[in-house]
Structure 1
């Protein structure tokens, strides 16, 4: 059976640490061979790198300044990120970063400045970049059109934009990853968007411990999640099952597509 690759999660999240050995074992048993673990601020970049060093065959590290964390950045955050990129020589990616106007009182100009800096760094070293966007598709599209992008393209993680944006984003080099939260029946616009995405640009992700799939799709749960609100990373199986139904293709075919696209975008051989 084709292996599975999680294009975006936060396996270093403190909410998962108590169960991490069991989580990694469950992911292995589920056939998940690789996952990209994304940092969101300076404080967690070291945790991401340590986790990747401890699990080099599975975990691909990525460090970014998330739009929710822009207000907490230090004066030399970009220098720290750049030095890590240079030191790791292609073995670390960029993200999670991007734009968010959904959050309370967003400083969109500060977000744009931080995102442009990270996009430039990814472009300079041709690194994968994982982009977050909520209710800011206009500004994001403008930045992507007017600034250098990595030759390998860029990933729009947990894509929730409109179907109409897909062709333009794909032409700019976008890959699109689908998360389990969007398996909900009411998310029909997202379903339609993924039907329009070129087959060679589709990936799957969990965004664990967030973006929990609907209950009827959940295959794994966390014993420490008393409210059942946390997403187990092995629920990538549920994401594949649900997206295959949405796209009306066989699960085995989607597994192959998503795995091929993952390996095309991410330099797994350097992990």
Structure 2
């Protein structure tokens, strides 16, 4: 069982969290950096937990305006050091006003280009920015191996437009909240070989019935992943074991170079 997207570096004691993940049956995860400030923490986790923590390094749109003049050089150096890393989390976000869409484009497009040139997996964050995202992927085509739309909250029509470009779609437990029923309905239209499971921990807390590992301050524990997978299978009227296995195979194929 694999967590396709989380941020273990945000936990004060990630070693303890990893121990609890393993006890819950999770065999690996992709840990996503979001800025130059946390890339070293992601790298340290990958070094400390080889085979379990798979690093991803990206500049998140929320932090586009905080980048240094050497951010791209630093990113490329990390990818040289970790040649099987992913690029992400990166993308576009119009839910926020600042940084501007133009600033976000300035950091997103080079990351898409880098993923394509190195044929690395790409993990994309998109929120209220579907038009700009499609425009960006026309300017800079994504890598042929595909890319992940993490915590995908778009429409069925967007699924149809993104599939030919190589998109995969990951489901996070937050979408089990009753107010997100439309998202659950949308995931019925994701092809089985394009579906992944993620926690986005410590964010995107699922509803209480899908929380097996409660944390204080409404933080999401990545060991909630099995319960999230079982809940999704129930909503999709699928066998939980088969769905979780399929999602893990998809994660292996896209993100882990198998």
The TM-score bracket by the shorter chain reads: over 0.9
Residue of structure 1 in register with 2:42 after alignment: 48
SS of corresponding position for 2:170 = strand
Q: How does 1:1-271 map to 2 (within 5 A)?
A: 4-13=1-10, 16-18=11-13, 20-88=14-82, 90-222=83-215, 225=216, 227=217, 229-267=218-256
* Structure 1 unaligned residues grouped into runs of 5+: none
**Does the aligned pair in 2 maintain the 1:221–1:231 contact within 8 Å?**
yes
1:186 CA drift (Å): 2.1
SS of corresponding position for 1:94 = strand
1:65 CA drift (Å): 0.4
Q: State the alpha-carbon separation in 2 of the partners of residues 150 and 200 from structure 1.
A: 18
| TM-score of the aligned structures, taking structure 2 as reference length | 0.96
Q: CA RMSD in A?
A: 1.2
* Structure 2 unaligned residues grouped into runs of 5+: none
Q: State the alpha-carbon separation in 1 of the partners of residues 93 and 234 from structure 2.
A: 30
Count of residue pairs the alignment pairs up = 258
SS of corresponding position for 1:65 = coil
1:268 CA drift (Å): 5.0
**Does the aligned pair in 2 maintain the 1:145–1:172 contact within 8 Å?**
no
Larger deviation, residues 100-109 vs 167-176: 100-109
**Does the aligned pair in 1 maintain the 2:84–2:120 contact within 8 Å?**
no
SS of corresponding position for 1:175 = strand
Q: State the alpha-carbon separation in 1 of the partners of residues 78 and 12 from structure 2.
A: 24
Give CA deviations for 1:228-270 in whole Å, capped at 9, x if unaligned: x10011011121012111211010111121011011102256x
